[in-house]
Amino acid sequence: MAFATNGAATIHYERMAAGDGPVVILLAGAGRPSTDFDYSFCAPLVAAGFVPIRIDSRDTGRSTALAGDVPDLHAIKAAALGQGDAPPPYGIADMVADVLAVMEAEKIGAAHLVGRSIGGLVAQQLAVQTPGRVLSLSLVMAMSRSMADAVPDAALDRLAADHIPDEDAYVARQLGVAQANGMVADFDAGRVAEEARTAWRHGVHRGGTARHFAASLAAPDLRPALGALRVPTLILHGRHDKVIPVARALETAEAISGAIIEIDEQMAHDGPPRLRAAWGTRIAAHLAGSPNTT
């Protein structure tokens, strides 16, 4: 196992291929460990000569957990809307610093970045902060600013009450999430349960999803700064995404010069096997066509 250090945070990461090909850094969604980027996703990248490195964001997997920090999501939402001052336990910039620590540990000057949901926010902010270190962006379920103006209070209440004492409880939670956020045709209870157990055994931290959500609520509006980016960008989004509306992906594409956006009519806010394989194949083609691939 490999780890990098950023202050008090220890960040676990894993190379998914040997060799010295161009590096692709994989950043998962809120509260999700790096196992979401499984071998079916990584295989097309490896076949195309890339070296994927999947990262457990802080509060996921084998990386540092901040289990003692309980964010007041309603206060953070209000602050994001200009009402009061309630900072999250950590911000997107801290998660960017974690990724840069991995890059330093591996002596990576620049890399392709793939981000899913909040992982895409981290990728975009890293590109804005240190554009010379980003060869391309691939954003799945994309947003480029806080969702504070769109997320219902009931969703924050559910996150605040999210208590998962054991593996079976996590499986039950993920079955509910898959039914709520995915396409009916993709729901497979056995598959969802198996993937939930894989994630739990790799590392699911109490309150991690809420703390990630707090960071995304407090995220800055990146759109003005994104206009200066000149990196090949691909955005993949679902027409039926109820968590991040299509409008958020479209405005992200509009903010980044030359960005390609593809709206999948059979995709929601979920990543079943058929989509993971399709994303890997599409992103591999995007990277292979990038002028920054060396």
Tell me the average confidence (pLDDT) per consecutive run of 10 residues in the chain, 294 residues long. Answer: 95 96 97 96 98 98 90 96 96 98 98 98 98 97 96 93 92 96 97 97 94 97 97 98 97 98 97 97 95 75
* pLDDT for res 61: 97
pLDDT score recorded for residue 68: 78
Question: Is 293 a member of any domain?
Answer: no
Residue 73 within any structural domain of the chain: yes
CB 254 within 8 A of CB 177: no
- Cα–Cα nearest to 115, from 137, 88, 91, 147: 137
294 falls within a domain: no
Question: Quick one: CA dihedral 8, 61, 58, 218, positive or negative?
Answer: negative
Question: DSSP string spanning the chain?
Answer: -EEEEETTEEEEEEESS-SSS-EEEEE--TT--GGGS-HHHHHHHHHTT-EEEEE--TTBTTS---TT----HHHHHHHHTTSS----SS-HHHHHHHHHHHHHHTT-S-EEEEEETHHHHHHHHHHHH-GGGEEEEEEES--SS--TTTS-HHHHHHHHT----SHHHHHHHHHHHHHHHS-GGG--HHHHHHHHHHHHHHHB-TTHHHHHHHHHHT----HHHHTT--S-EEEEEETT-SSS-HHHHHHHHHHSTT-EEEEETT--S---HHHHHHHHHHHHHHHHT-TT--
Are 229 and 257 in contact by the 8 Å Cβ rule? The answer is yes
- CATH of residue 89's domain is 3.40.50.1820
Question: Given this model, what pLDDT does residue 119 score?
Answer: 98
182 occurs within a structural domain:
yes
In the chain, the number of structural domains is 1
pLDDT of residue 294: 54
* Res 9: pLDDT: 96
Q: What is the C-alpha separation between 294 and 291, in angstroms, rounded?
A: 8
Query: Quick check: pTM over 0.85?
Result: yes
For residue 144, the enclosing domain spans 2-288
Q: Are 102 and 240 in contact, with CB atoms under 8 Å apart?
A: no
